[in-house]
Amino acid sequence: MRVLMLSKACIVGIYQRKLEMIAAHPDIELKALVPPYWKDERGITPLERVYTKGYELVETPIRFNGNFHLHYYPEAADHIQLFKPDILHIDEEPYNLSTFLALRAAQKLSTAKTIFFSWQNIKRHYPFPFHWIEKYVLSNIDYALMGTQSADEVWRAKGYRGPSAVVPQFGVDTDLFHPSTTSLSTASPVVIGYAGRLVGEKGADLILQALCRLRNLNWIFRIIGGGPAREKLEQQAIELGIADRVHFMGLVPSVEMPDCMRELDILVVPSRTQRNWKEQYGRVILEAMASGVVVIGSDSGAIPDVMGDAGLIFPEDNLARLTDSLRILIEHPGKRQHYSIQGRERVVKHFTQQHIADQTVQIYRELAR
């Protein structure tokens, strides 16, 4: 079975492990098209060629790089015609121009079955031409992969009537993300982390406020990631008098994230729901739990569903509850150990990269039949 995947997400090296696992199935011949880089508010993320065994990873030009709705791949149609896939896996939202153009190219091949992927968990209404693109894709696609159950509900409400399955875009490679084999002294500072975009809706400023209230406890705070809010956060740390205990790590290559995770004791994910956004998945939550790191998360979007009972949940923007959760985990190593074990077990049971890859291949087989 010939599978062609179009995915800007797979420029990230550790995500390519899923592609290797898909390609390891003997009935799959996989080719993945990726752009040379992607740019957003964090900056430029270049293509990392890390896990490329058993399939073809092809760099292809992109137009309108950074524009989520308008970006497209001018050579994608040529690749589709030459490769003649049985399955075209468009790893994009159904209202994007890249999805529409790839679908149209695949329709010229009578044998090609098509799939889109979506995280969309809020029912949004788009202006022309995106509303028209969305309607066309929903009416002509063969299968829909949904990152969460709420995404499936959104697209059903918007008119999709075809087959679908809830399969997250990526899982976690538990061989890469695993607990540290060394234990820190109880006299060492508790290492608290944040990893993600530095934008208001992600809530890193709330962590700084909470840690200011806990200045009498032994902790350090590492902020991993980039974005337009970095300067404001740096100034906030200075004004709160905790700048000497707050370390901005910047953007970290994906292959270095497993080591970064293992250096943390606690990860905080304090996302805030906005009118047009709520947390869609929180992949970093799973990477932390797989690494034996305890997670404190807000109740925004999919966070409680991903975490289950393997961490602490607090109401969005509730500074007092976040402060209490941090205090409990900083002061009680035994509780950290309890949630560390639970988190790792939950990921191994439900969210491994192998599990996601196998589910995806099974869908390919169903479509091919």
User: Can you give the residue ranges of every domain in the chain?
Assistant: 2-171+352-368, 190-350
Tell me, what's the pLDDT at 185? 53
Can you tell me the distance from the alpha carbon of 330 to that of 265, in angstroms, rounded to the nearest whole number?
A: 9
**Who contacts 106 (Cβ-Cβ below 8 Å, separation ≥6)?**
80, 85, 88, 112, 114
Q: What is the pLDDT of residues 261-309, one digit of tens each?
A: 999 999 999 999 998 888 988 889 999 999 999 999 999 999 999 999 9
Tell me, what's the pLDDT at 158? 95
Reply yes or no on whether the pLDDT at 41 is more than 80. no
Q: Among all chains, which residue has been given the structure tokens 């890859």?
A: 357
Reply yes or no on whether the pLDDT at 15 is more than 70. yes
Of 87, 109, 106, 86, nearest to 98 by C-alpha is 106
Tell me, what's the pLDDT at 184? 53
Q: Which CATH architecture has domain 190-350?
A: 3-Layer(aba) Sandwich (3.40)
Of 112, 114, 123, nearest to 82 by C-alpha is 112
Tell me, what's the pLDDT at 39? 93
What single DSSP character describes residue 215? T
- The yes-or-no answer to whether 2-171+352-368 and 190-350 have a common fold is yes
Q: What is the pLDDT of residues 181-226, one digit of tens each?
A: 876 556 689 999 999 999 999 999 999 999 999 999 999 999 999 9
Average per-residue pLDDT for the chain: 95
Q: Could you give the percent of the chain with pLDDT greater than 70?
A: 99
Tell me, what's the pLDDT at 187? 67
Tell me, what's the pLDDT at 147? 92
CATH topology of domain 2-171+352-368: Rossmann fold (3.40.50)
- E strand or H helix that includes residue 23: helix 16-23
Instruction: Give me the half-sphere count of Cα atoms (radius 13 Å) on the Cβ side of residue 52.
Output: 14
Structure tokens at 205: 């400023």
